[in-house]
Homo-oligomer: A and B are copies of this chain.
Amino acid sequence: MGEKSTQKKQFILETAKKVFMEKGFKNVTMKDVVEACEISRGGLYLYFSSTEELFLEVLKMDMEETDDVFSDKIGDDATITDILLLFLKEQKREMLRKKNNLAVATYEYLFANKLPKGKNPVKKRFETAVMMLNKLLDAGVERGEFICEDTLGTARNIMYVLEGIKITASTVGISEEKVDAELVFIIKGLVGEEE
């Protein structure tokens, strides 16, 4: 597998990702991918032998791409609160772009296919986010920005709330106002109510 192949594989992954974002997981057929990529049926099978295999690689790729979104954008003089706000804002952006995230495809995939414990990138990512948030909260408490007795519990709680909003957005829909209200609720819980 020379350079050329790797390049083509990458191209297929990028294109397939768009398809999964558009149509979820179960609705995507090999035909859809073939047509989106404008390659031959047989050509696709050379690289991926099922939508499942294809999706798992797309998912892995996506996880890697978005993992470090964080560290990049934070200036040195940012407060912890700023960082948290940045994180929540990014989450909100994801939730609200209807047809442009992999969440639905991922949920659909996971409903039908339990991944082996260690290899579940979604679980891993959730736990990573919890740890990261936990550290952030610790730092916030230390600097006196946040009031929080149980930073680990709170970190987990926040992640569940975000997950809850995400699934609500993907199913019954949610307005931007509702999302904002919820995020404000989270922040208030940390900085203390202004009375």
Contact = CB atoms under 8 A, between A and B. Distances in A.
Interface of A: 24, 26-27, 104, 106-108, 110-112, 114-115, 120, 122-123, 126, 149-150, 153-154, 156-157, 159-168, 170-173, 181-182, 185-186, 188-189, 193
- Provide the main secondary structure of the chain A interface: helix
A178 to B, nearest CB: 8
A111 B149 contact: no
B120 A172 contact: yes
Given A24-B112, A107-B107, A111-B108, A160 B164 contact: yes
A126 B182 contact: no
Contacts of A154: 185
A144 to B, nearest CB: 19
A111 B170 contact: yes
Contact of A163 (B111, B114, B122, B168): B168
Query: Which of A167, A170, A188 has the most B CB atoms < 10 Å from its CB?
Result: A167
A167 to B, nearest CB: 5
A186 B150 CA distance: 12
Contacts of A107: 107, 111, 167, 170-171
Contacts of A112: 24, 27
Given A107-B107, A111-B104, A149-B193, A164 B159 contact: yes
A30 to B, nearest CB: 14
Contact of A182 (B157, B162, B188, B193): B157
Contacts of A115: 172
A156 B182 contact: yes
Contacts of A149: 193
A106 B181 CA distance: 26
Given A120-B172, A150-B185, A156-B185, 10 more contacts: A24-B112, A26-B108, A107-B107, A108-B108, A110-B172, A149-B193, A150-B188, A156-B181, A160-B160, A163-B168
